[in-house]
Every structure is written in structure tokens, then in C-alpha cells.
């Protein structure tokens, strides 16, 4: 008898779990389910996503160095004592908000992509990469005018971006 075929397999973290609890800075990408353009179709959802992100950062004492919400994904540069819990809380709080806009769609893709910054990685360089994402996506010509990028760590993130080498 053949073993059943697994159609869905949850992605397991690529790093040992303790790495996510050591306070490293991570570059994250969280994608919407089936790359549905939630954040383009529902600007109010995006506004609430930014507010939720900032609130969670304050509650947890997380450092949110940079974010950029694109139509079907979000990039974050985050330092938290338990990154997996940070992502769970963020996704969990935003999911019921999304249901107010569309009840028949899932908001998030399962899991997320991460890159732990190493000492040779420049925090400001990676933040600049995140803020430039809307330009690479063809949404704007100047990252400084994109309304869904920002930082909770740098109150004047646009000056930080302008000072990037």
C-alpha cells in the first residue's frame, strides 16, 4: 500500500529555534496568500497594518527599523526577543481586520522568509533596500514619496535613507 501523498507541508524554520529568541535583527518577508494584492485593494487595511505593527513593537519592546507594505507582501527589519512570536502576533492581529474587507479570502501565506543580519550587514543598507522596494516594484519613482514605508526606530527615516552610502 502506498503512503499518502502530502499536498501541504508546513515550512519549518531553517535556523535552530533558539536563534529566533536571541534578539538578532532579521530581514523578514511576509507574503499574502496566493500573492493576493490585499494592501493595494484595501488601503485602510494597510493603514491598520502599519498601526498594528507599531503597537506590537511598543508592547513587545521590539525594534522595528524599517517596513514597506507592497501590494502582496510586506518587508520588515525587526529585532525582537522572540521573532517567531512577533510574527505570530502580527499576523494573528491583522487577520480579523482583513476579514472585515473580504470574508472569503485568507490574508497570509503560511510561514515567512527570513534573513538574520550578520555583523557585516549594514542595518542602514538593508533598511534602504526595504525602502527602495516600491521603486523596484514600479509603484513609485522615489522611495521617499511612498506612503506605506517607514520606521519606528528612526523617527526621521527619510533622512536616514538619504544618508545611506
Cα–Cα distances in angstroms (integers) from residue 150 to residues 10, 48, 53, 66, 69, in the given order: 31, 14, 11, 6, 9
In a domain, 12, yes or no: no
In a domain, 118, yes or no: yes
In a domain, 157, yes or no: yes
What is the percent of the chain with per-residue pLDDT over 90, rounded to a whole number?
73
In a domain, 28, yes or no: yes
pLDDT of residue 101: 96
C-alpha 138/C-alpha 131 separation (Å) is: 13
pLDDT of residue 163: 72
Domains contained in the chain, number: 1
Dihedral sign for Cα atoms in the order 127, 129, 133, 135: positive
pLDDT of residue 52: 98
pLDDT of residue 20: 74
The pTM for the full model equals: 0.87
pLDDT of residue 2: 52
Q: Which residues are within 8 A (CB) of 9 and not within 5 positions of it... i.e. 6 or more apart?
A: none
Which structural domain range is residue 63 located in? 21-162
The pLDDT tens digits of the residues spanning 95-154 come to 999 999 999 999 999 988 988 888 777 899 999 999 999 999 999 999 999 999 999 999
C-alpha 100/C-alpha 33 separation (Å) is: 16
The pLDDT tens digits of the residues spanning 16-53 come to 677 777 778 999 999 999 999 999 999 999 999 999 99
pLDDT(7) > 50: no
In a domain, 10, yes or no: no
Under 8 Å between Cβ of 33 and 112 = no
In a domain, 134, yes or no: yes
DSSP 134-156: HHHTTS-S-GGG-TTEE-SS-TT
Specify the 3-state DSSP secondary structure of 14: coil
Q: 54: domain CATH number?
A: 3.30.70.1290
Amino acid at each position: 500500500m502506498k503512503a499518502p501523498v502530502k499536498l501541504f507541508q508546513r515550512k519549518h524554520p531553517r535556523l535552530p529555534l533558539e536563534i529566533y529568541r536571541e534578539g538578532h535583527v532579521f530581514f523578514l518577508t511576509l507574503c499574502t496568500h496566493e500573492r493576493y494584492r490585499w494592501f493595494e485593494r484595501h488601503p485602510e487595511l494597510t493603514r491598520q497594518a502599519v498601526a498594528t505593527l507599531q503597537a506590537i513593537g511598543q508592547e513587545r519592546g521590539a525594534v522595528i527599523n524599517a517596513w514597506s507594505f507592497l501590494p502582496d507582501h510586506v518587508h520588515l527589519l525587526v529585532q525582537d526577543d522572540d521573532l517567531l512570536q512577533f510574527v505570530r502576533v502580527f499576523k494573528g492581529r491583522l487577520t480579523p481586520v482583513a476579514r472585515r474587507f473580504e470574508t472569503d479570502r485568507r490574508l497570509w501565506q503560511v510561514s515567512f522568509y527570513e534573513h538574520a543580519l550578520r555583523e557585516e550587514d549594514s542595518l542602514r543598507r538593508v533598511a534602504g533596500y526595504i525602502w527602495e522596494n516600491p521603486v523596484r516594484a514600479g509603484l513609485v519613482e522615489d522611495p521617499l514619496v511612498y506612503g506605506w514605508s517607514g520606521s519606528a526606530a528612526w523617527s526621521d527615516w527619510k533622512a536616514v535613507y538619504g544618508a545611506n552610502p
